[in-house]
Amino acid sequence: MNWESLFTMQKQLDSYIETNHNLTNKDLFHDKYLALLVELGELANETRCFKFWSNKERSSKEIILEEYVDGIHFILSLGIEKGLRYESSTIQKTSKTETELFSIVFENSVLFKNNPIQTTYNQLFASYLELGLALGFEENDIRDAYLKKNEVNYERQNQGY
């Protein structure tokens, strides 16, 4: 996938938000990091992959994809914050469970927060894409859902969200 176009769109959205909220000179890295963790938790909740005690079915694929793309927004934004871009690699389907993949993404998030360099950013991004693949999302699904959610994010900003 051409991630550069999504980085460009995310940078524009970040600038728009920061300007509208008078945050242009504020370091937002830790806020964005926490937002990513919250989004990961929301995504895990929608998949219900760890809820061994419950018989309730997981949310629809559309809802899970929307939550997944929220995470993409913050991962892109974190990279932008540190001047990094994802250096893509081939992501292959894994035999790991969704729960294991969520744990790996959480771990890679912490690694990146503590050492925000290209290597840890690539690990975070790749592990998130691996999770997406396990959830059944192809690159086209992710791109299309990102574009749609990006529009929603602008609408929300314009409505005083």
Across residues 56-81, what is the average pLDDT? 96
Confidence of residue 50 (pLDDT cuts 50, 70, 90): very high
The mean pLDDT value of the chain amounts to 93
Confidence of residue 88 (pLDDT cuts 50, 70, 90): confident
| Strands of the chain, DSSP E | none
Tell whether pTM > 0.85: yes
Structural domain range at position 81:
3-158
Number of domains in the chain: 1
CB distance 146 to 6 below 8 Å: yes
Query: Which one is predicted more confidently, 84 or 160?
Result: 84
- The pLDDT, as a whole number, for residue 159 is 82
5-29 in b/e form (b: 16+ CB < 10 A) is ebbebbeebbeebeeeeeeeeeebe
Which CATH number fits the domain that encloses residue 153? 1.10.4010.10
